[in-house]
Amino acid sequence: NAGVTQTPKFQVLKTGQSMTLQCAQDMNHNSMYWYRQDPGMGLRLIYYSASEGTTDKGEVPNGYNVSRLNKREFSLRLESAAPSQTSVYFCASIYRSARAVRGYTFGSGTRLTVV
Amino acid sequence: GQQLNQSPQSMFIQEGEDVSMNCTSSSIFNTWLWYKQDPGEGPVLLIALYKAGELTSNGRLTAQFGITRKDSFLNISASIPSDVGIYFCAGHSGNTPLVFGKGTRLSVIA
């Protein structure tokens, strides 16, 4: 099935532990994004990758790192998890050309709790 | 950074009523998107708008790209229980990433 796949769907971490959230898309999109969603805050951009080989910080990058492994995959890493990183994380991908943006598609999310 | 103000924050309506929500931006956008999010799921794209003044429908949903390019509107006609969820506007310009509003939580009373 075409779309954006995120793993894992749920995760509980202890403060200080590390983990990597995985995201893969099979739509040949060139740009990929990581957002976090907190109650009342909408979706806030953590990091994005406009194209393979590039990454840029978004609105809330502190405490996170990313890797654009290839065109399909974009991972988000928490090196030392903190309770403030308890959130729902969404990956998204789009096809961006010089003229337009198409197909902004989201994964189903990873629900992370840091205790 | 770019800011999106989405209103209302929440709505409680009777089944069959029409719904209107809107977003305004502090800067000009060249793309406006409207998403719906069901509980436990990721946002799903409802309507995409690419030109100022554009009016686009998707079933009972109609969205408009404001002529100032700083606002957009979403209308839902004859609401039904499955319209319940959170609706997000989003927009961007140039190569900037998509910016989201904080959402409108819609509740439909049967």
Question: Per-residue DSSP letters for A21-33?
Answer: EEEEE-S--SEEE
User: Is 90 exceeded by the pLDDT of residue A109?
Assistant: yes
According to the model, what pLDDT value does residue A99 have?
Answer: 67
Of all residues in chain A, the one with the smallest CA distance to B36 is A106
Give B39's pLDDT tier (boundaries 50, 70, 90). Answer: confident
- Please give the average per-residue pLDDT across A6-21, as a whole number: 97
Mark yes or no for CB contact A43/B97 under 8 Å: no
According to the model, what pLDDT value does residue B94 have?
Answer: 77
Tell me if A88 sits within 8 A of A112, measured CB to CB.
yes
* Nearest C-alpha neighbor of A81 from the set A29, A22, A13, A21: A13
- Tell me how far apart the alpha carbons of residues A17 and B72 are, in angstroms, rounded to a whole number: 42
- Please give the average per-residue pLDDT across A71-95, as a whole number: 96
- Please give the average per-residue pLDDT across B64-83, as a whole number: 96
CB < 8 Å to B50, chain A: 100
Q: Is B1 on the interface with A (CB under 8 A)?
A: yes
Which residue pairs from B55-59 have beta carbons closer than 8 angstroms and sit at least 24 positions apart in sequence? Answer: none
As given in the structure block, the two tokens for residue A113 are 């709790």
Q: Which of A33, A42, A104 sits opposite B102 (nearest CB)?
A: A42
- Please give the average per-residue pLDDT across A67-85, as a whole number: 96
- Tell me how far apart the alpha carbons of residues B24 and B96 are, in angstroms, rounded to a whole number: 17
Residue A46 — φ and ψ, nearest 5°? -95, -60
Give B24's pLDDT tier (boundaries 50, 70, 90). Answer: very high
CB < 8 Å to B40, chain A: 108-109
**Whole-number mean pLDDT of chain B?**
93
Mark yes or no for CB contact A41/B102 under 8 Å: yes
According to the model, what pLDDT value does residue A89 have?
Answer: 98
Of all residues in chain A, the one with the smallest CA distance to B34 is A104
Give B2's pLDDT tier (boundaries 50, 70, 90). Answer: low
* Nearest C-alpha neighbor of A34 from the set A81, A86, A87, A92: A92
Give B73's pLDDT tier (boundaries 50, 70, 90). Answer: very high
User: Is 70 exceeded by the pLDDT of residue B78?
Assistant: yes
Q: What residue type is assigned to position A63 of the chain?
A: G
**Whole-number mean pLDDT of chain A?**
92
- Please give the average per-residue pLDDT across A40-65, as a whole number: 92
- Please give the average per-residue pLDDT across A59-86, as a whole number: 96
